Amino acid sequence: MEFYGQGAAYVGQGRMQAMPQQVQAQLAAQQQPPNDEEVARLVQDLQKGDERETALLELSKRRESLQDLAPILWHSFGTIVALIQEIVQIYPQLAQPPTLTATASNRVCNSLALLQCVASHPETRPLFLKAQIPLLLYPFLNTSSAERPFEYLRLTSLGVIGALVKVDDQDVIVFLINTEIIPLCLRIMESGSELSKTVATFIVQKLLLDESGLYYVCDSAHRFYAVANVLSKMVGVLVQSPSIRLLKHVVRCYLRLTEDPRAREVLRQCLPEGLQSDPSLKRLPPSISQSLDEDQTTKRWLGQLLTNLNYR
């Protein structure tokens, strides 16, 4: 299955290093960017039912090498409609009992990968948002099945939202807050795979780093405690199963929350034990301490967090 995210890069690098040079050269030749005519043909094939699956696969595999793919997808007649059709037609397969197959999930993930391309491009991002297309992904984020087809859907959908929040855009933050993305991310932070948890926490972090996002969470006791409780549970998990990339986003969320006076006072009383120490970080659980040794930035953030909370 085509996999989208950081994990794919690591796996891909390992595979390439293990391959004979002749095979690597053949693969490199296959991965060369297609010419304009080939791109146009593949985009046109999205309109053809019998050709769409192949076109989705080919375009999604090559999307990173095609700088203008997002505008082409958006402005070509019927293309976005075809991608939306791919998404909505599997909604019935999400219902209980779920009938989603790996093949169907893979096909939709290819469609979502193209939408992530659209969400990432500065020209098409505002149009993507204005059309409220991210809402079509929320049913995938709201699933709870741990089976791989569902996990891939959640992860790829999170990738689209993550692409939106990567750029500091007030319109994106307001849209996501108003459409209740935070509760969906909190659910995934509790029960998703490590990679899904990491992307979901990154999204919450980016929302908190915006002033309107911090106000939204801290202005309501219900919303604040919902976020704080999930972050606390994640620290408990990290004590047992360390992950520096996940810890990084969790610590940054906590640090940002301390910039609100009300949240800071509450966190002084309820910071999870796994992060409690003096600012020199000498009394942390060994698993957390070892993770921090891998990332000095996160280590500095945690020290600042403890200073802000007056831990001695």
pLDDT one-digit tens code per residue, 144-183: 999 999 999 999 999 999 999 999 899 999 999 999 999 9
pLDDT digits (tens, 9 = 90+) for 103-112: 999 999 999 9
Tell me the angle at which helices 52-62 and 79-88 cross, rounded to the nearest 10 degrees: 100
Does the pTM surpass 0.85? The reply is: yes
**Per the structure, how many domains does the chain have?**
2
Which among 175, 178, 191 is positioned nearest to 141, based on CA atoms?
191
Residues of the domain holding 99: 1-9+34-167
Specify whether 131 is located in the same domain as 202.
no
Mean pLDDT of 49-63: 93
- How much is the average pLDDT of 218-238? 97
- Look up the CATH number of the domain holding residue 205: 1.25.10.10
Among 167, 189, 219, residue at a domain's last position:
167
Residues in the chain: 312
* Segment holding 39, helix H or strand E: helix 36-45
Q: What average pLDDT does the structure give for the chain?
A: 89
Domain check: are 132 and 197 in the same one?
A: no
Q: Domain for residue 73, yes or no?
A: yes
Among candidate residues 114, 140, 167, the one where a domain is terminated: 167
Q: What is the DSSP letter of 76?
A: S
Please answer whether residues 55 and 43 qualify as being in contact, where contact means their C-beta atoms are separated by less than 8 angstroms.
yes
pLDDT value at position 34? 59
- Residue 253 in domain: yes
